[in-house]
A and B are shown apart, each in its own frame.
Chain A
């Protein structure tokens, strides 16, 4: 496995670094990426659990909340000692949660890898915190919600997801509904159950990027993680039924804001089998990127909006392909909506320019190369794909697919996905009577 991957990376693949892989029999996988960062390594624990797994009523936001609890210590390393170990190694360490994954990351000297493997294997297997610690952390999570609550984009996305999805947990944001966050202090027992379910080897991939000795590293991981027992819990995530009619919603924002408009279509789940998902990524650049006709018309010439962007994120279940814009003058909102919908019709009718398509493929390749210039940024990118497929070759497969997307594909995908009955539109405007600073 290792040799095959290393050999194939000699070609023209976008991800040129040699890759090492080892499975441990309990479901846990270790992936190494050899990157030129002398003396430095990034250690990522990628857990395939996110807000997508929050199917129970009243439990929205729990995957993210649980991420916070992972810093609250074990018997061997109570929270102060865990922090002390990281501090002594001068590490940069944090974690984040999204719809499909929770990622714990540490960046430190390669010399620290044995200690990192020890403390990370410890907390993933033997996390222990008191009811009091749990309740205090709930306050910090509410604070995290509060710090972003004034942002109108958050209000827009909340409404968009809630409107577009009926039964799938993508209906709620990763941070969760406010009422569920407020109720978190009462969920201590549930948190223990959550840990038993999802913090299991079959949900986790370890990723090390940078300067490491593969033999030593894999032996270390084997020793520290081999007794970790497989859990076997499988969550039943409801499938979202096909949408049958266009949906509209609006938000009246209680503070001064420029109007925001989101027009979204249900898009395909992440896959390296079909051209659909990579095809829509190419489409979003060709037809909505900075050099696209609509961007040039609305942002640069008419100046009706201050930006236009579009795209779908890679997700395990069907995401939304969202066209997003902010309108400079409230009275132009309907003109902007019409311009976007006309453009959507046009791109389903006309083939994209071949030269623009080639320029876009170049753009996407170089965008990737410019983004992956440190061990940490390479790890971040690899963690993204590992969370979706648990296969390190996915990144090269995706970029190979980008290269194969044709003008016909782009038009056919627009026809397939940008149908009115597949659409959800949301506007956010300043509520009447809100006194602006003007």
Chain B
């Protein structure tokens, strides 16, 4: 059942019109409220403020109810409420059964409009962020450590630089008054985009919009401008030294000039699916590095920020950004093969840039994406998320855009977009390694890096390519080693 889209219940500004999806017969109701204030607005020295403010709403009480009372109220409904912090936005996500629409909405509304800002809740939420930054991120997940380290390097001197959870010094400096001030300044009706989906009673959506229009302050605030990250001279490599890393996690990429708002995004989406479709065997990187060589568990590429939604293969919605980057994620590789894997990923990207896709490869990817993209919006809740993102980018519904643009696209469009946007050598590279100094020296000096196979049996074709990859000269601009203990401090 395709839901009806009721456009603009009340116009609140160009890309902030409420999105209401009416889905007759659907037993669930979804709320996605996108607040256009994310970690890019964290003041210097107070990194983490946007995330902590979001947590004070999603993990805190209301003026009327303590957090315990809120939990008691929601418990019989099993209804969720969470904040999803991001660079440009903070999204409040809630879902309930239609049986509980009114009592659920009453709590949802009060959490956003009348947060309690309880000092005890503040201490707990602040400590949760600090523990994430000092314990979980540097220790428990090398892949995430690699990705966030890459982001720091991609966006030096830029509002996207720090993790959305903040920095250690930034979070330590936060006070409850900072949170209250951030809330007063940014939780305005102009900054809020309301999204609701379900089998909604007549007049419900209008009432919600009216509720928020009356209770949130109105203040025009322009989003801060973002500097354009400069184009570099060559590879800037950061090796994060972590003595317990058994295998080496690698992330690399460069900033892109385009987003879903641009024509070229769509041909590049086809090329990226061909190069590194997330967690499928469609991608060249996955087939070359994992299937043929058994180097690791997976190898993928992206043309925009991508967070996996739970255990699925799909992207979490509501991660919109005004600036995007191209990136390659090489999952942990045995240390002796890490340098080879880095070269290999770049080798296959270069092959795409130099040779382009064939007409046949293009047709296969077009066919695939046209069907596969429909699966991204199976649930009404995800459809709502994608609809909200589409209004961020000022396009039609993203899934429809993909179908429409693919229909008239040619292989030449794709190869031209690849040449224009991916023919670059200024990769920022993050590697998490125990043998950091040695790794850094090998990369810096472009030492030969023959692959070490655990077993024999690679085909002659693969071995021939191995001989090219192991001596691929990378234009290294800089190499540095930073101890993991220094990551995310400031």
Contact = CB atoms under 8 A, between A and B. Distances in A.
Interface of A: 36-38, 40, 71, 79, 83-84, 87-94, 107-109, 130-132, 135-144, 146-147, 149-153, 185, 254-258, 289-291, 296, 299-301, 303, 306, 328, 358-360, 362-367, 369-370, 373-376, 435-438
B358 interface: no
A213 B162 CA distance: 52
A79 B282 CA distance: 12
Interface residues of B, number: 88
A436 B67 CA distance: 32
Nearest to A295: B71
A142 B452 CA distance: 14
A375 B374 CA distance: 14
B79 A366 contact: yes
Contacts of B378: 37, 40, 107, 374-376
Give the most central of A84, A142, A365: most B CB within 10 Å. Answer: A142
Contact of B142 (A92, A150, A296): A150
Contact of A373 (B28, B243, B297, B374): B28
Interface in B439-465: 453-459
Interface in B121-149: 123-124, 127-128, 131, 134-135, 138-143
B139 A256 contact: yes
A374 B487 CA distance: 40
23 contacts: A84-B364, A87-B367, A90-B375, A92-B375, A94-B279, A108-B371, A131-B457, A135-B455, A138-B454, A143-B290, A143-B296, A149-B246, A150-B139, A299-B124, A300-B68, A300-B120, A303-B120, A303-B127, A362-B76, A362-B78, A366-B78, A367-B78, A370-B28
Nearest 6 CB-CB pairings of A with B: A90-B371, A139-B294, A132-B457, A135-B455, A143-B296, A136-B294
Given A91-B372, A150-B244, A373-B379, A291 B282 contact: no
B113 to A, nearest CB: 22
Interface string B304-315: 000000001110
Interface in B334-389: 334, 364, 367-375, 378-381
B5 interface: no
B455 to A, nearest CB: 4
A136 B292 contact: yes
Given A108-B371, A139-B293, 5 more contacts: A94-B279, A142-B454, A306-B131, A360-B75, A373-B379
Nearest to A366: B78
B77 interface: yes
Contacts of B373: 90
Given A135-B455, A136-B457, A437-B484, A306 B128 contact: yes
Contact of B75 (A135, A359, A373): A359
Contacts of B76: 358-359, 362-363, 366
Nearest to A301: B120
Contacts of A255: 139-140, 242, 244
Name the residue in B76, B293, B312 with the highest tally of chain A Cβ atoms < 10 Å from its Cβ: B76
Contacts of A79: 291
Contacts of B484: 437
B295 A143 contact: yes
Contacts of B139: 150, 152, 255-257
Interface of B: 1, 25, 27-28, 67-68, 71-72, 75-80, 95-97, 99-100, 120, 123-124, 127-128, 131, 134-135, 138-143, 168, 242-247, 249, 279-282, 290-298, 312-314, 331-334, 364, 367-375, 378-381, 453-459, 484-489
Contact of A370 (B97, B128, B371): B97
A422 to B, nearest CB: 29
Contacts of B314: 92
A365 B75 CA distance: 11
Contacts of A435: 485
Nearest to B488: A437
Nearest to B124: A303
Contacts of B281: 71, 83
A359 B77 CA distance: 8
A296 B68 CA distance: 7
Contact of B297 (A109, A130, A144, A301): A144
Contacts of A71: 281
A90 B367 contact: yes
A87 B138 contact: no
Contacts of B457: 130-132, 135-136
Contacts of B486: 437
A149 B76 CA distance: 37
Contacts of B367: 87-88, 90
A289 B295 contact: no
Nearest to A84: B364
Contacts of B334: 142, 146
B370 A90 contact: yes
Contact of B78 (A90, A94, A370): A370
Contacts of B124: 299-300, 303, 306
Contact of B291 (A92, A107, A136, A306): A136
Contacts of A185: 454-455
Contacts of B242: 255
Contacts of A436: 134-135, 485
B466 to A, nearest CB: 13
Nearest to B369: A90
B295 A87 contact: no
Contacts of A303: 120, 123-124, 127
Contact of A437 (B80, B456, B487): B487
Nearest to A253: B139
A88 B368 contact: yes
Given A366-B76, A375-B378, A437 B68 contact: no
Nearest to A83: B281
A149 B247 contact: yes
A240 B79 CA distance: 39
A107 B313 CA distance: 12
Contacts of A362: 76-78
B97 A139 contact: no
Contacts of B140: 150-153, 255, 257
Nearest to B373: A90
A386 to B, nearest CB: 19
B279 to A, nearest CB: 7
B122 to A, nearest CB: 11
B364 A87 contact: yes
Contacts of A38: 1
Contact of A140 (B68, B127, B134, B290): B290
B371 A437 contact: no
Contact of A135 (B142, B295, B454): B454
Contacts of B332: 143, 146-147
Contacts of A132: 455-459
Contacts of B135: 256-258, 436
Most A-side CB within 10 Å, residue of B245, B249, B364, B371: B371
